[in-house]
Structure 1
Amino acid sequence: MDCTQQTTYTRGTANGQCRLKFVNFEASENHASHETEGLSQKHLVVRRGKPFKVTIRFGSCSWNPHTESLVLEVLLGNLSERFPVQFPGERYNPHSWSAKIYPDNGGRRSFTVYICSPVQSSVALYQLLVHIETKQSRISYTVGAFVLLCNPWLKNDPVYMPLDVHIQEYIKSDYGVVYMGTPLNISRRPWSFGQYESGVLEACLTLLEVSPQHQRDKDRDYIRRADPVYLSRVICAMVNCNDDLGILEGKWQGSYKGGVKPTEWSGSADILHRWVSSNSPVRYGQCWVFASVLCTVMRVLGIPSRVVTVFNAAHDGDGSLRIEEYYSSTGEKLNLSKDSIWNFHVWAECWMRRPDLGPEFDGWQVVDPTPQEKSAGVFCCGPSPVSGVQGHCLRARYDTSFVYASVDADVVRLIVRDGLVVGRTVDTEGVGQLIYTKSIGSDAPENLTGTYKRKRSKYICVMSQHEAHRDGRSRVFSAPPALSSLRGTSPDLEVSLSIDGVPTVGKNISMCVTVKNQSGSPRFLMEHLNAQQKDFSSNPEQSFWETHKEVCIQPGEVLTLHHAIAPSEYESFLAGDDIVNLAVVIKDLRTEERFLATQEFSISSPQITIEIEGGDSIEMKKEHTVQLSFINTFTKTLTGAVLTVKGSGLLQGKHEARLVLLQPGEKIEKTVTIVASSAGTKVLMATFSHSNSPGVVSRSFRKVSVVAA
């Protein structure tokens, strides 16, 4: 990248003074040296604390270092720092800008200059000036701009990551996996972070420039950008648009008309491009979209990041570290609680030191951009040290108590009838049951649960209807009792609920209720089993299936009750990836004790076949054929069948195949041609739907590795 000089001002007399001809930013060599290849086609991109090379060439006269000083200046808004060019032998100052000059083969007309920033410089787009000064005059040149990023390769950088294999995964890799569903049926969704796609780095810099912090005080914001803790809070708030001109607008219910349904996104680049071009928030995002976009921005800025899924994540709005759930006496979950448990919630972890807290809190930090609660008046969460969550250091900033509740809150489940609590259980293990991230170099999950949680015991208590009338705390809307008062001996009757196999669209959903009578007398019981569809982040909707049965169980007997929901009973309510809340209430007809067991599971969908000509590795800017197909494995004819494929960086828009009728065993196919404009990892996403179903029946993904031709 050649940068033509521009004379900006001259003081005194410049007769005979040496003039600059051009400056070469040596982008190719610097990008390779600084591990920034592919991040920008417009700017030189370098990492702080590491020298980068520029070549300067003078005009017809030679530069005389005895009479003329060469001074460089970096500009950042109204801030600037001047520093003289030094000769070899002098050490770089890690706390200030510095430069060394080496003569090239061109004698005194061509030189190589190595410029080094302080280790904790601000992340930003800088302007570089060159001054040629004598005692009488100064000629100044604006020679170009460069982008400075964090440097996880450098030991003194607060984001330093010692193992290169970790840097490759958490900085350089442009591909990730998001885990979704329920602990019983975990699905995975590939995600293209897209940091090497054209314009993505520039979009990340724009994000910093339009932040409220920058708009209020540009100079202060520039100075504070040296701190990854500060950067992570700014970016976290800017990924959602609740307080600012941020990237994404969230939506969890209702119609997604006027935007893109969150499940249709497969990469960050498309979202960032839309945000820049429209100058308005992109519609719509949910937790995994927010977290994945944040991960892209942080990796671009040089802060190691990864996407993390918490299964059964609590949203504790009142800070009680306790979530209440209400069920009817027949097992229907009621929408009475202000708190909630998401089947899965996705946030990001970012790697950095925490000098504001102490070295024991260094390492991975939770940064959650999904707008749930305000932190210091802004919708952001973190950075909260994972070590602080595990150690129950709830006062460690930022938002550690909220994160702790997300992974380790207690769940109080109340059975209510006619406004009275007639049964109660407390679960200390259900929240944060699994915490997953993508493994290094593999799509398999890495289990992070132990880094967040210490092992605790589970206890269950029940209360009869007679006790409920006696208990002054029995009203539904009264404050629940302290957890210590709920501890007690195990009941004489144990009830559990399990799902047989992996529920799949088009097949029976089989389940099993197990009742164990540990008392010395027979018991006459009423079983109520209830199924409700639910969104992963909210309470269930109205029940779509239920059954009731009277049973008798003998002393010491273990009774197994099998049930199945046929496709005809759920197909008008459920589609692929939908989640079901299942609950059983067992009532002792003599004592009126009630026992509750719950289970939530997701429905797997039939697979769409995606075959790429020549395999999953393709050449950039070369056409490749993709064949997609879906076979109707249902026992009935599907009407209005639609097979759709899209892929950011591979296809323009979406491509569809349609059939009015798709008979059982019949195949619907689509052939498309893909062309990748940039190297890296892309994702093809295919969906299948039909008019008989309430939503998408099947969704499949294919990872595509793009190499330079």
Structure 2
Amino acid sequence: MSSVDNNSVFKGVDVHAKSNHSEHHTSELPEDQLTVRRGQAFKVTLNLSKPFKQGLDSLVLNASTGGSHASEEKGTSCRFGIPDVTGRRASWTARRDAGSSASSLAVLITAPADAPVGKYHLKATLWGEDKMVATLVLLFNPWFSGDAVFMPDEQERQEYVLNEQGVIYRGSSNYISPLNWDFGHCVSFIPLVLLEQFEDDMVEICCQVLDSNLNYKNNPGSDLASRGDPAYVGRVVSAMINGPDDRGVLMGNWSDSFAGGFSPSHWSGSHDILTLWKKNKYQTVKYGQCWVFAGVMCSVMRLLGIPTRVVSNYVSAHDTNSNLTIDVYHADEGAEHKESPDSIWNYHVWVESWMKRPDLKDGVVFDGWQVLDATPQEASNGLYQCGPASLAAILKGETELPYDVPFVFAEVNADCVDWLTKADGTDEMMTSDTKRVGKSISTKAVGYDKRVDITRSYKHREGSEAERAVFKYALSDDKDSGGEDSAGGESSAGGESSAGGESSAGGEGSAGGEGSAGGEPDGGTSQPPAPPAPPLPPPQLTIRFDEMSVPEYGKDVQLRLVLSSEGRVERKLKIHISVDAMHYNGTFVATIQSEVKEETLHPLRELSLPIVIPARSYQEHMRKADSLKVLAVVTDKRHPDKIYLAEDDVILRDAPVIVTVSGFVRQYQEAAGEVIFMNPIQETLTDMTLSLSGSGLLRQELEYKLPDQSPNTRIRVQFKFTPHRTGKKWLTADIHSSMFKDFKGRCEVNVRL
């Protein structure tokens, strides 16, 4: 409650932060800043020097955002009061609350459901005196049916708006790996005795994300007025999370050097990144990759009130020329590795946000989940931004709709053409694969830490008539014929189960066709003999990789290449097996090993070849790489034009980091924890650091320098911390060394009052 001088008609103001925050689902945000949602009333009490007489006195209120750029015409400033002074619908409103007394006036104020979000100044004029009532932040309201982000299910609202703990899926389609992520978008009330330590105001940071965008700098009035549209806000945030063109939050880096910043694998949550951006006076933080961009964007969107979830697409295509075809080059024996302008990522991570799309055709068809991608891959309208692309539009192949639907459609639907690069530099086409891209599209389940496969929300079953019809429709210029509607009637299903472990075997299918037999028709004249039938191609070759054991960092990787055929004759095969260290975005790092074998495949029997990748051969390269690509190129020696391909992207399981917290943990009381780590390799680890983080538990990331660690030794680190928020929290430990990328562990901490 604020105070004023004794001569003022205003004796104080109570913004009822605690009760307003509880009713507006913002109770986890600081109470020194009133944060409410549009379309829902909040209470403000004015303590007055004399009674307010209903019907005789007039209270005039003004709510404005954008300072000098506020405009009644553009909807960023509104004059209203008791009685109503506007008479306009869809404007701010005020009404007297029954809780008023002789010396106080309780007012219920409601912002319209389409009001621009952001920071507002609320002023009052009464009996000729002006008063600044409050500075408040207005958010989107997924609890109100009139808001464009309304989400009807309460469990989903809890998950996609309020949940601070989540899972981001990485790895590969055969090695799906969960990464726990701390979205950390809420901060509880901080006692006055600790206020000087508290600098991590996430509300202020997220407002600064909006105020730093280039649209605001170029035309602030228009930008402010557009902030009532979640599609506009989502597009702005997707541009602001990355840093190439607008001094955004994060700088991307897919190189082998992260000098001057942190490796993207260092981060465990959004909070440290956003607070570092603020601490550095909004200079871009170094560095991030796709899952980091997505995690930070999810935090900002959720705090602004837009339901958002993180989504991972496995075998994700980056189509640079918009032809829905990805060219992939494989080096033959003695050939150099060749890069393609296109690429296939092991996985790519973006977010989906829930909103209506009245800007698109056909009414509500394209409402719901919208893809937004903050990773700076391709410029859109001159900026590195992507979306919102309607998920319904992607499923239907409506690639003419805004925003960036063609790019996202290609990420999950593009066809792959594999080329074999010969030693002389020429390329020979091996296979064309329509089913490789867009597998196991994953997100966290509502209410628990399980993976949900949502592939069928993006595409029809691979190889189905509906899937091919939508693909052709997406490529066509004629969008009047209908995509999904003309696709043979397959409807969108829920989710597919996780993909199995069999690699895609390339090669051509068995072509048909015996020629017709010659002969002489009854009563006819003699005909020349028919040409001899062409030789039948060899039967299809099936290739797969089997794991002999779970691949673990620091241990030899043991696989088995298994070949089989339904043919009834033996086949002489030339088999080229190579292992490359790769970045997850498809960029080549180094060749680890390569060998050529000649083997015989006997009829109706499997040919099994062991593959061993020694730890000593991959360790140096895996400091830079993310996966091991095991590739088998098989040539039928009797039919050298028949070349078959199989590949497997192996993800090494991290060495365990064990985190424990002892005893009961209480708010504002010191607690004790311990981290244990065993050296997983047969070398001494150097330049080691331990980082600890956890929103609600630590106010900032803690870092410890660790001594060198000999092979087969265990290191223990004990530490103290003082939690400042109650409830279930997660404490994350990150171990880093010059010998490997970051290994992580975490433990759940239940903080009690």
Shift of 1:210: 1.8
Find the counterpart in structure 1 of residue 747 from structure 2. 702
Paired position in structure 1 for 2:74: none
Q: Does 1:378 align with 2:383?
A: yes
Q: Is 1:631 the counterpart of 2:678 in the alignment?
A: yes
The residue aligned with 1:431 is: 437
User: Residue 223 and residue 6 in structure 1: after superposition, are their counterparts in 2 closer, same or farther (change >3 A)?
Assistant: farther
Matching residue of 1:553: 601
Q: Does structure 1 residue 53 correspond to structure 2 residue 4?
A: no
Q: CA deviation at 1:281?
A: 0.7
Distance 1:565 1:697 in 2: 22
- What residue in structure 2 maps to residue 316 of structure 1? 319
Which among 418, 425, 434 is matched to residue 419 of structure 1?
A: 425
Contact 2:235 2:385 in 1 (8 A): yes
Cross-structure match for 1:73: 62
Range with bigger deviation, 697-706 or 301-310: 697-706
Match of 1:99 in 2: 94
Q: Is the 8 A contact 1:93 1:118 kept in 2?
A: no
Shift, 1:463, TM fit: 11
Q: Deviations over 1:511-570 (max 9, x none)?
A: 222222444433222211100111111322221112221112234433222222232333
Q: State the partner residue of 2:205.
A: 203
1:170 is paired with a residue whose SS is helix
Partner of 1:611: 660
Contact 1:463/1:594 (<8 A) preserved: no
1:541 aligns with 2:589: yes
How far apart, CA to CA, are the structure 2 residues paired with 1:243 and 1:609? 40
Shift of 1:639: 4.5
Deviation, structure 1 residue 234: 0.9
Question: Is the 2:350–2:372 Cα contact (8 Å) retained in structure 1?
Answer: yes
Alignment of 1:267-306 (within 5 A): 267-279=269-281, 280-306=283-309
User: Match for 1:434: what amino acid?
Assistant: S
Structure 1 residue aligned with 2:374: 369
Report the CA distance between 1:170 and its aligned residue.
0.5
Q: Distance in 2 between matches of 1:166 and 1:434?
A: 21
Within the alignment, does 1:573 sit opposite 2:572 as a pair? Answer: no
1:685 is matched with: 732
Per-residue deviation, 1:620: 2.7
Greater RCO structure (CA 8 Å; 6+ sep): 1
Q: How far has the Cα of 1:697 moved from its partner?
A: 6.7
Change (3 A) 1:248 1:697: closer
In the other structure, the counterpart of 1:388 is 393
8 Å Cα contact 1:422-1:594 kept in structure 2: no
Root-mean-square deviation (CA, aligned residues, Å) is 2.8
The CA distance in 2 between the partners of 1:567 and 1:459, in whole Å, is: 27
Q: How do 1:75-474 residues align onto structure 2 when only pairs under 5 Å count?
A: 75-76=64-65, 77=67, 78-79=70-71, 80-86=77-83, 95-102=90-97, 104=99, 106-107=101-102, 109-133=103-127, 138-197=128-187, 198-279=200-281, 280-330=283-333, 334-357=337-360, 358-417=363-422, 418-457=424-463, 460-462=506-508
* Bigger strand fraction: 1
Task: State the distance in 1 between where 2:708 and 2:164 align.
Answer: 39
Residues 256/706 of structure 1: CA separation in 2 closer, same or farther (3 Å cut): farther
CA 1:679 to 1:448, structure 2 compared with 1: closer, same or farther past 3 Å? same
Aligned-partner SS, 1:233: helix
Q: CA, structure 1 residues 5+571, in 2 after alignment: closer, same or farther (shift >3 Å)?
A: same
Question: How far is the alpha carbon of 1:203 from its aligned partner?
Answer: 0.5
Q: 1:92 to 1:153 in 2, by over 3 A?
A: farther
Comparing 508-517 with 384-393, greater Cα deviation is found at 508-517
Pair 331,45 (structure 1): closer, same or farther in 2 beyond 3 Å: farther
CA offsets 1:144-165 (integer angstroms, 9 cap, x no match): 2111111100011110000000
Count of residue pairs the alignment pairs up:
661
Contact 2:331/2:338, CA 8 A, preserved across alignment: no
Q: 3-state SS of the aligned residue for 1:640?
A: coil
Residues 706/354 of structure 1: CA separation in 2 closer, same or farther (3 Å cut): farther
Distance 1:639 1:141, change over 3 A: closer
Matched with 2:192 is none
Distance 1:185 1:103, change over 3 A: closer
Are 1:498 and 1:599, in contact at CA under 8 Å, matched by a contact in 2? no
TM-score of the aligned structures, taking structure 1 as reference length:
0.87
Contact 2:581 2:592 in 1 (8 A): yes
How far apart, CA to CA, are the structure 2 residues paired with 1:497 and 1:330? 20
For the 8 Å contact 2:79–2:86, the answer to whether it is kept is no
Which ranges of structure 2 fall in alignment gaps of 5 or more residues?
72-76, 188-199, 464-503, 511-535
167 and 562 in structure 1: CA distance in 2 versus 1, 3 angstrom threshold = same
Contact 2:238/2:386 (<8 A) preserved: yes
Q: CA shift at 1:207, angstroms? A: 1.4
In the other structure, the counterpart of 1:484 is none
1:317 aligned counterpart, secondary structure: coil
CA contact (8 A) 2:203 2:303 kept: yes
Alignment partners' CA distance in 1, 2:97 and 2:610: 82
Comparing 225-234 and 268-277, the one that deviates more: 268-277
Q: Give the letter aligned to residue 106 of structure 1.
A: S
Residues 1:62 and 2:56 are matched in the alignment:
no
Task: Deviation per CA, 1:299-334: give whole Å up to 9, x if none.
Answer: 111000011111111111110111111112239883
Instruction: Report the residue type matching 2:571 in the other structure.
Output: R
Deviation of 1:701 (Å): 2.9
Distance across 2 between alignment mates of 1:460 and 1:546:
20
Pick closer, same or farther for the CA change 1:244–1:54 going to 2, 3 Å.
same
Alpha-carbon contact 1:687-1:696 (below 8 Å) kept: no
Verify the 8 A CA contact 2:256 2:624 in the aligned structure 1: no
The one of 642, 647, 651 aligned to 1:602 = 651
Offset from partner CA, 1:575-596 (integer Å, 9 cap, x none): 6993011101112233323221
Matched AA of 2:554 = G
Deviations 1:672-698 (A, max 9, x none): 11222345665433344566x3x2373
Contact 2:17–2:32 (CA<8 Å) still a contact in 1? no
Q: 1:335 Cα shift? A: 3.1
Aligned CA distance change for structure 1 residues 421 and 497 (closer, same or farther; 3 Å): farther
Aligned to 1:590: 638
1:499 to partner: Cα distance? 3.4
Deviation at 1:706, TM superposition (A): 4.3
Whole-Å separation in 1 of the counterparts to 2:656 and 2:505: 40
1:197-243 Cα offsets, whole Å, 9 max, x none, are 34111011111112111122222222111110111111111111122
Tell whether the 8 Å contact from 2:12 to 2:48 is kept in structure 1 after alignment: yes
1:5-24 residue pairs with structure 2 within 5 A? 19-24=9-14
Kindly indicate whether the alpha-carbon contact (under 8 Å) linking 2:589 and 2:621 is maintained by their aligned counterparts in 1.
no
**How far does the alpha carbon of each residue in 1:85-104 deviate from its partner, in whole angstroms, 9 at most, with x for none?**
149xx999861211111364
Counterpart-to-counterpart distance in 2, 1:72 and 1:426: 66
1:673 is the counterpart of 2:673 = no
What does the per-residue CA deviation read over 1:354-400, in whole Å, with 9 as the maximum and x for residues that have no partner?
11113111111000010111112211100011111111111121111
Q: Report the TM-score when normalising by structure 2.
A: 0.82
CA distance in 2, matches of 1:463, 1:258: 52
Q: For residues 660 and 172 of structure 1, do their structure 2 counterparts lie closer, same or farther at Cα, with a shift above 3 Å needed?
A: closer
Aligned partner of residue 660 in structure 2, secondary structure? strand
Q: Which residue of the other structure, out of 522, 525, 546, is the alignment partner of 2:570?
A: 522
